């Protein structure tokens, strides 16, 4: 997109942190997972609607954000997909929040749609929205505290730790591993394999 203001990862994390700051104050708790719908309705004052959304050219649309109408629409025709993929709904909602906060001025009517093929997208707006979603659902402080408090259960020596963390924070395995890499808990080889500090090799992610 022309004239797009690119955000650095640290900037995106900082913005997500201010949302979490309000969240923490309003909720007065640090219960996991982060309640995304609460953020949409009570912090950003956006309408959250479930409507049928028709895609063109066989493209499946999961959701749409329309800043001029201060609304996020979820595609009710895709209810089955949301029900069958764990945490997909939370991921999509957080991604749309990212667009609303970061790209409000760039999104015109009827809105910006979340397509099924988004994981393969190289569009910087999509990348930024996804980074925002990861920072929002996996706040650095919450994640580090949680790992410290559950150190008996968490060893990063196998998939058990990954599933436990992904389930606790309500995120996909992919989102969790990429966030752990940004925080420095996992490292990544030139060939894209994720390695823990204890030397466990999780291999490459299949997105
Ligand atoms: Zn998007």
Same domain, 126 and 37: yes
If asked whether residues 130 and 173 sit together in one domain, one would say no
Q: Is 123 in the same domain as 161?
A: no
Query: Which one of 137, 167, 198 terminates a domain?
Result: 137
Mark the ranges of the chain whose per-residue pLDDT is less than 50.
none
Strand, helix or coil for residue 98? helix
- Residue 45 confidence (pLDDT): 96
Inter-residue contact 131 to 109 (CB < 8 Å) = no
pLDDT value, residue 71:
96
Are residues 110 and 185 located together in one domain of the fold? no
State which of 137, 169, 191 marks the end of a domain: 137
- Asked whether residue 195 falls in the same domain as residue 102, the answer is no
Closest C-alpha among 100, 98, 191 to residue 136: 98
Predicted pLDDT at 119: 60
Check whether residue 77 and residue 147 sit in a common domain: no
Neighbours of 83 (CB within 10 A): 10
DSSP letter, residue 39 = I
CA of 34 to the centre of ligand 1 (A): 20
Q: What is the pTM of this model?
A: 0.92
The answer to whether the CB of 158 falls within 8 A of the CB of 164 is no
Cα–Cα separations (whole angstroms), residue 32 to 29, 129, 138, 188: 9, 21, 10, 27
What's the CA-to-centroid distance between 19 and ligand 1, angstroms? 19
Q: Are 94 and 102 in contact (CB under 8 A)?
A: no
Question: How many angstroms is it from 112 CA to the middle of ligand 1?
Answer: 7
In sequence order, what are the beta bridge partners of 201? 195
Quote the DSSP letter at residue 59: P
**Inter-residue contact 35 to 65 (CB < 8 Å):** no
Same domain, 73 and 131: yes
Does residue 199 share a domain with residue 151?
A: yes
In contact, 62 and 115? CB cutoff 8 Å: yes
Count the domains in the chain: 2
Ligand 1 geometric centre to CA of 118 (Å): 7
Q: Are residues 41 and 121 in the same domain?
A: yes
CA 143 to ligand 1 center in whole angstroms: 25
Residues 78, 161, single domain; the answer is no
Residues 124 and 107 in one domain: yes
pLDDT for 41 equals 95
Using the 3D structure, point to which of 120, 137, 154 is the last residue of a domain.
Answer: 137
Give the 3-state secondary structure of 2-29.
Answer: CCCCCCCHHHHHHHHHHHHHHHHHHHCC
Say how many Å lie between the CA of residue 126 and the centre of ligand 1: 5
Domain that holds residue 130: 1-137
Q: Are residues 117 and 162 in the same domain?
A: no
| CB distance 13 to 140 below 8 Å | yes
What CATH number is attached to the domain comprising 126?
Answer: 1.10.10.2910
Q: Which two tokens stand for residue 79?
A: 């209810």
Q: What is the pLDDT of residue 120?
A: 61
> Using an 8 Å Cβ cutoff, are 25 and 83 in contact?
no
């Amino acid at each position: 997109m022309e004239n797009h203001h690119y955000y650095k990862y640290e900037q995106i994390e900082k913005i997500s942190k201010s949302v979490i700051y309000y969240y923490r104050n309003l909720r007065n708790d640090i219960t996991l997972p982060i309640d995304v719908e609460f953020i949409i309705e009570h912090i950003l004052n956006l309408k959250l609607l479930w409507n049928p959304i028709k895609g063109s050219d066989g493209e499946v649309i999961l959701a749409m954000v329309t800043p001029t109408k201060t609304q996020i629409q979820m595609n009710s025709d895709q209810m089955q997909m949301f029900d069958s993929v764990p945490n997909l709904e939370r991921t999509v909602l957080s991604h749309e929040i990212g667009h609303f906060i970061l790209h409000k001025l760039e999104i015109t009517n009827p809105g910006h749609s979340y397509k099924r093929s988004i994981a393969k997208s190289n569009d910087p707006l999509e990348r930024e929205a996804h980074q925002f979603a990861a920072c929002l659902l996996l706040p650095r402080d919450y994640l580090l505290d949680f790992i410290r408090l559950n150190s008996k259960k968490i060893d990063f020596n196998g998939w058990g730790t990954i599933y436990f963390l992904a389930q606790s924070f309500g995120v996909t395995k992919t989102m969790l591993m990429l966030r752990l890499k940004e925080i420095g808990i996992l490292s990544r080889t030139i060939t894209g394999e994720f390695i823990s500090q204890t030397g466990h090799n999780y291999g490459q992610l299949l997105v």
